[in-house]
């Protein structure tokens, strides 16, 4: 298996910073181009926190769907929302992988809140 190139970023919640690695794909790159930004993430279905980016993300070369795991950041193309999964979920059509939070256990305290603000930033673009 060929390792996928990752783009390093961070998510800030209050004073805490969490490392996130973005995949080098057209959808993730269109997400990164909108950074930095601060959004409110809200709970959805007891397994993910969602928000809607300012602009729709690219679906070029996207898979038909994906099976999210805890810590995955995904774009749900049919609704246009970005989802940070804090529980594993089944394969779903329309999910496009954006990246993965490295320390999801550390972020779990914020994820327990019904909603919270987070700032998404990039460390460097390769």
| SS3 category, 41 | strand
pTM: 0.92
C-beta atoms surrounding 49 within 10 Å: 24
Distance CA 39, CA 33 (A): 15
Measure the CA dihedral 117/18/53/28, to 10°: 180
In terms of CATH architecture, what is 6-122?
Beta Barrel (2.40)
pLDDT tens column, 19-75: 999 999 999 999 999 999 999 999 999 999 999 999 999 999 999 999 999 999 999
Distance CA 88, CA 37 (A): 26
């Amino acid at each position: 298996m060929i390792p996928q190139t990752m783009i390093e970023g961070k998510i800030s919640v209050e004073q805490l910073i969490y490392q996130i690695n973005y995949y080098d794909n057209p959808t993730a790159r269109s997400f990164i181009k909108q950074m930095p930004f601060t959004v409110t993430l809200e709970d959805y279905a007891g397994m993910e926190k969602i928000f809607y980016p300012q602009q729709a993300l690219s679906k070029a070369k996207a898979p038909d769907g994906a099976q999210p795991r805890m810590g995955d950041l995904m774009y749900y193309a049919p609704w246009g929302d970005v989802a940070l999964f804090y529980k594993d979920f089944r394969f779903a059509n329309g999910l496009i992988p954006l990246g993965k939070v490295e320390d999801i256990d550390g972020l779990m305290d914020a994820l327990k809140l019904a909603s919270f603000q987070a700032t998404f930033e990039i460390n460097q673009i390769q």
